[in-house]
Structure 1
Amino acid sequence: MPVALGGCFSRFDFREQLHDRSLSNTSRTDRRFLEQWGRVCHRLAEHVVPDQLSLYIVGHVESRRVAEQVLQPLYQLPTLCNSGICLGPSSHPYRDELRNIATTAVNRLTCKAVPVLSQTFPFLNLPRELQLQILADSPLVQDTCIRIENGGLARYGLTHSSMADLATYVFFSQNAFSIYTWNPSLGWSDQGNLRGMHSFLARLPSHALRRIRRLTIWLPPIDSISLPYNHPDWPLWLASVELLSTKATLSGLALTIQVGNYRVKRDRLARKIHFTPQDQAQILRAYEEDIVYPLVQLQGLKLLFLHVPCPFGRGNEEARVQVERKLEQIVMGSDYKSYSMGKSPPNGYTRPFLLEDD
C-alpha cells in the first residue's frame, strides 16, 4: 500500500518524487492533514492483520518535528509485512537525519516479536540419567584432557543447587584431568611445582574430587642428582596421595603417574650424565620407595598406569617394561597386568628416557 504525503505522487518511481512544497505543522491545512493522517492510521490499526500489510510512505517534511508527527501514529499498527519510508528528497538540508529517523521507524514497524514461552523447559523434572546425558553432550565435557599447571581453581556460580550438582558431577566424572608439576621446556631450571599440585587437590571440594574418574599426575624428573629427598617440597607428594586416599572414589579412579625426564637439547649439552650401576640402583630405589610406596595406601584403586624414564638406556625396552610392571604390582597386586587393562603400549606414547652419554 503506497501512500504520498502532500504534493504530487507517482506510484511508478518513489525515488524521483517531486513535491509542490514541504509538509509543516504551521499552516491550518497542514495541521488538518496531520489530524486526518492520525485517524487513517488508527483505522488501519483496527482492521489490519499482523504481518499482512506492506506500507510504503513518500513525503517531504519540513523538519524533524514534523517527521515525528508523521511517524508517531504508525506505531499503533500491528507488525507490517514490509515497509519503506522516504521523508524528503536527496537535496533536503536534513537529509541524513531524516533518513536515520525513517530507518529506525521501518525497523520498528517490521520487527517480528519473539514469542515468549509460557514457562521454561522443565529440565530438572527429567529423570536423572537423562539429565546427565544431556549435560554430557554439552561443552562441559571436553575432547582433550583438562590441563592443570599452577594449582588454580575457578568457581562458577550456579544459583540452583540441583543444577550445580548435576554440572559438577558431569564435569568431573566425564573429563580427564592432568596435573603438571613441572615444565619440560624449562629443563633443569624447573625443580617442580609440587605445591601447586597439592594446592589444587586440597582446595578442590570433596564432592568434586570424589567424582574424578581419570587423573594423570606428571612428577618432576628423578636422576642421580635430583632425587626426591633433595626436593624441599617432596612431602607434598605424600600429602597429595593421602588426599586421594581419603577423598577420591578409588574404585572408579584410573590414576596415571608419569615421571618426567630432561630431554631438552641445551640441557644435554650443558650437563652430560653417565649412570653407573650404583646410580641406576639408586634411581630405581627412588621410584619404588619415594613414588610407589606412598601409593600403597590407595587400596581398591581401579587402575594404575606408571610411566618412568628407564636409566638403562634406549636400547633396553624390556628392562623398562619390567621396571614399570614391578612398580605397578607393588600397589595393585602380583596378578595386575596394566597393558591388558588399557595402558598405552610403548609405541603409543612418547617413551621417556633419562639422559645418557652418546
Structure 2
Amino acid sequence: MTGNALFEPYTLGALTLSNRIVMAPLTRNRAGAGFVPGDIAAKYYSQRATAGLIISEGAQISQQGQGYQDTPGIYTQAQIDGWRKVTDAVHSKGGHIFLQLWHVGRVSHVDLQPNGQAPVAPSAIKPETKVFVNNSFADVSEPRALEFDEIPGIVADFRRAAANAIAAGFDGVEVHGANGYLLEQFAKDGSNTRTDAYGGSVEHRARMILEVTAAVAAEVGAERTGVRISPVNGVTSTDPQAQFNYIAEKLGQMGIAYLHVVESATGGSQEVVPFSYADLRAKFGNTYIANNGYDVERAVSRLTQGAADLFSFGRPFIANPDLVERLKTAVPLAEVNPATIYGGGAEGYTDYPSIAAVSCA
C-alpha cells in the first residue's frame, strides 16, 4: 500500500496536503465556558495532524446556530483566541486545518437559544430527532419560520464567522450544508415549504446555500472555501439529483476549493436511493472529497477510477490519532468507546494511543 496515490501529496488551492486522507468533522461536545475550545482541543487536533487535511468539528456561527451543549463557537473574541491555540498546535506538527461553519437551524432546543426563543428554520416543521442538552438527550423544540428580512443577517453571520476563522489561524473554512442542518433545510422540500424567493423551485431552494457560500468566499477567498453536502442523507427530498446537481454546478462556477459529499446515509446503507455521484462530481468540476464508510481498498478503487480526489474518515480518527499510518501499514484499527464520544474530558478524547505508544508499552 505504501506506493499508492492515497498517501501521496495533493494540491488544494495554495496548500500542499501530505496525503489524500481528510479528517472529517466530528462533534465531541468538549468546549469550555463561553463555548471556547480549550487546551485539550489543541492536543486532540494536533495528535491527528498527519491527516492531509483536518476539518474541525462544527463551530456555531452564533448562539442561534447552536443545537447541542458544549459545542464551540466562532463568534466571540474568546472563541477566536481558543481556536488560535488549536491551529497553532496543528501547524506546529505540519498539518493543515479548516474550520466548519455551522448553523443547526431547527435542530435545537429552547434551552440553547438566546432568551429561550424558538429555533429558526425555513419553515415551521419540527423534525423527529433529538439533541443533547442539559446532560441528556431531548426532543428538539418547535421551530419558527424565518422572516424574509431575517435571512441576510444569517448570511452576514456566516461571513463574519469565516473572517473570525481566518483570524484564528485556520487555513480555510467549510460551509456546513449537510446532515439536516439549516442550509440543507433550505435546499430540500421535506423541510422547506416557503413560497418566497427561498422556496419552491430548485433554484429558489438553492439560494440560501449559494448566497452563504458566495459571501464566505468573498470574505476569505474561494480557494479557502469548501462546502459539505449530503444529497440523500438528513432531510428527505423529492428531487435530490436535480437539486444537488444544480447546487454543485453553481458552486463550481464560484471556484471554491472543494465539495465534500456525504455519500448515501451516514453509518448506513450505501444504496439509500438512486443517486449519481459521478454526475455531481462532473457538475462541480473541482476537488471532490468523498465521505461515508470508506476503507483503504474502497478509497483506492474510487481514486483509480477518478471518482474522487480526497477521502474523509470520521469515526476511525476518534480512536486512531495516527490513522494515516495505520491505514498505510495495514495495522488494525483501535475501536471507539461509544460512551466517551460526546462530552467529558481526556478519556476517549486525547488518551487513545498511537502505534508507537503501543509498541513501547
**Structure label with greater radius of gyration:** 1
TM-score, shorter chain, exceeding 0.5: no
**Higher normalized strand content (fraction of residues):** 2
Greater fraction helix = 1
TM-score (norm 1): 0.37
Higher relative contact order (CA 8 A, sep 6+): 2
Q: TM-score, normalised by structure 2?
A: 0.37
